[in-house]
Structure 1
Amino acid sequence: MKVISLNVNGIRQAAERGFFDWMVRQNPDVVCLQDLQVDERSLNDSVFFPPEYNTYFFDSMEDPEQAGVAIYCKAMPKAIMTGMGFPECDFEGRFIQADFDNVSVASFLAPHGSNNEEPLQAHKYAFMEGFKNHLIKTRRKRREFIFCGTANVARSPIDVSSWFVNQRNSGFLPDERKWINEIFNEHEYIDAYRQVNKQDKQYTWWPDYERAWKLNEGGRLDYQITTPGIKNQIQGGGVYKGQRFSDHAPLIMEYDID
């Protein structure tokens, strides 16, 4: 199973930059998109609905031009689930899951947070807590899961440029790093990309200006998080940098799953 995840930072912008042509050529089994910034009903162009894929969206109820997630899948899923049961997720279109015979694949989007506006950072922490509780409950289920998306948190100093300075910034705050490492350590989830690449400076996001891209000054904010049973089925993966579709890059992972 080939799974691609990308924060498009606006699905229309990504389409204009050639994302969907590239996506179809990659021939993935599942594609998880985040931060669509659009109401699905306004997408009238067929480019957003490739005939090779079944397409499912979850829009924000509060503001359709913010957040939003989607899943594109070749095989018809057995079921689609939206939301995780708490308002910071469900009202803002931040989680959608497709269930297949042998695995469930989800697309999630954490809020950005802020250094200067406490309500925004508190909102991010509320989502993080709700998502962690969802992952804890998921461990009790008798099936495997792949959660693809933007956590807006870098795990460790090798996952962010200028790490010492960034300890004061949302996305690399001590409490944020504690949260994401609890998911991988205490709750035994797998950081799929780190199973195949342990090098530093493997970023998935760069500020939206050319200098950061050219100098590779960014952060690894995007993940494919799997249940422990998938660990030995992770075959390979990488961050695609051949084209820029947004300020994030596609994360491509291969699994030995039918």
Structure 2
Amino acid sequence: MRFITANLNGVRSAATKGFFDWAPQQGADAIGVQEIKAQADVVAGQFDRIDALQGHFHYAEKKGYSGVGLYTREEPSELLIGFGSPEFDAEGRWVEKRFDKPGRKLSLISCYFPSGSSGEERQQAKFRFLDLMHPHLMALKAQREFILVGDINIAHREVDLKNWRSNQKNSGFLPEERAWLTRLFGTDGEGGGLVDVYRQLEPDTTDTCYTWWSNRGQAYANNVGWRLDYHFATPQLAGLARRAAIFKDQKFSDHAPLTIDYDFDL
């Protein structure tokens, strides 16, 4: 199974830059997109399919804001829109498709974590989101196997961004955010036990790991980037991951698509 994640920074903008010409050529079985910044009236009949993959979407109530989608080749046995938080479900941040069979419970998820970079109010909202998301993911892990893809808006380790020293007090690399990921992955000796699949496959990459670049200055040209886009997986599915690739030959948004191949079928 090939699973791609891409923050589009606007589905219409990404379309004009060739995303919907590129995506059908990738042989993907699932594609998660974030920050579509559009409503159903724009997506329906235009962006709701990618080749043989059918999309389902969680739209933000606020127009031109947030929103996520998940395209899959197979039809799910169940579709969940939102994760049960009135505050954040209003922002369009969670699409989950379940592919359950006898003896198997499996979910694919596209999720968009809040950014706190616009100011303290949004940073506090981001912390509230993290406080809700950790127990939600732990409860899900206790019930089923899953892969969550998305823009997490956190760089976990120093190796995950170019200028880590100067960003230690900035949203996306705050100690509290990084500690949340460490707890989620259980790399502190306790906690969640989910797997950062890219880092499992590519433990040592530095400047080739970035998936986001600021539009300010010459960040992209100089590869002053951050690794903000992830695959989180339960250990069994993470153990079936075989290959990761970040696509940078064409720029569809300020993020680059991340593709991971898994050795199982839906």
**Category of TM-score, reference length = shorter chain:** over 0.9
Tell me the equivalent position of 1:114.
117
Name segments (4+ residues, structure 1) moved above 2 Å.
42-51
Whether the 8 Å contact between 1:234 and 1:256 is mirrored in structure 2 is yes
* One-letter amino acid of the structure 1 residue matched with residue 72 of structure 2: C
- Aligned ranges 1:22-41 → 2 under 5 Å: 22-41=22-41
Rounded to whole Å, the distance in 2 between the matches of 1:210 and 1:114 is 17
Distance 1:168 1:67 in 2: 25
Q: Deviations over 1:110-134 (max 9, x none)?
A: 111037x321110011111111111
What SS is found at the alignment partner of 2:138?
A: helix
Matching residue of 1:2:
2
Secondary structure at the residue paired with 2:221? helix
Kept after mapping to 1: 8 A contact 2:48/2:54: no
Distance 1:49 1:205 in 2: 25
Provide Cα deviations, 1:167-201, integer angstroms capped at 9, x if missing partner: 01000000010011110112110001011112112
Counterpart AA for 1:174: P
For 1:158 and 1:32, locate their aligned partners in 2 and report how far apart those are by CA, in whole Å.
25
Deviation at 1:139, TM superposition (A): 2.0
What is residue 211 of structure 1 aligned with on the other side?
218
Q: Which runs of 5+ in 2 are unaligned?
A: none
- CA change 1:175–1:47 in 2 (3 A) is closer
CA contact (8 A) 1:146 1:224 kept: yes
- For residue 104 of structure 1, the aligned residue among 103, 107, 111 is 107
Question: 1: distance between equivalents of 2:87 and 2:158?
Answer: 28
Q: Residues 7 and 22 from structure 1, CA distance in 2 versus in 1: closer, same or farther, beyond 3 angstroms?
A: same
Q: Which residue of 2 is the match for residue 138 of structure 1?
A: 140
Q: How does 1:15-54 map to 2 (within 5 A)?
A: 15-43=15-43, 46=46, 48-54=48-54
Percent identity over paired residues: 36
- Which AA in structure 2 matches 1:147? L
Contact 1:56–1:71 (Cα < 8 Å) also in 2: yes
Instruction: Output the aligned Cα RMSD.
Output: 1.5
**Taking structure 1 as the reference length, what is the TM-score of the superposition?**
0.95
Conservation of the 8 A alpha-carbon contact between 2:30 and 2:71: yes
Deviation at 1:231, TM superposition (A): 2.5
1:76 maps to what in 2? Answer: 75
2:206 counterpart letter in structure 1 = D
What number of residue pairs does the alignment pair up?
A: 255
Note the residue ranges of structure 1 that are not aligned, 5 or more in a row: none
Q: In 1, distance between residues paired with 2:87 and 2:223? A: 32
Q: Which residue of 2 aligns with 1:256?
A: 263
**1:38-87 deviations in Å (ceiling 9; x for gaps):** 112223553553341211111012x0310000011111111110111113
Whether contact under 8 Å (2:23, 2:50) holds in the other structure is no
Residue identity in the other structure for 1:126 = R
Aligned to 1:240: 247
Report the Cα offset of residue 209 of structure 1.
Answer: 4.8
Give the TM-score normalised by structure 2. Answer: 0.92
Contact 1:88/1:126 (8 A) holds in 2: no
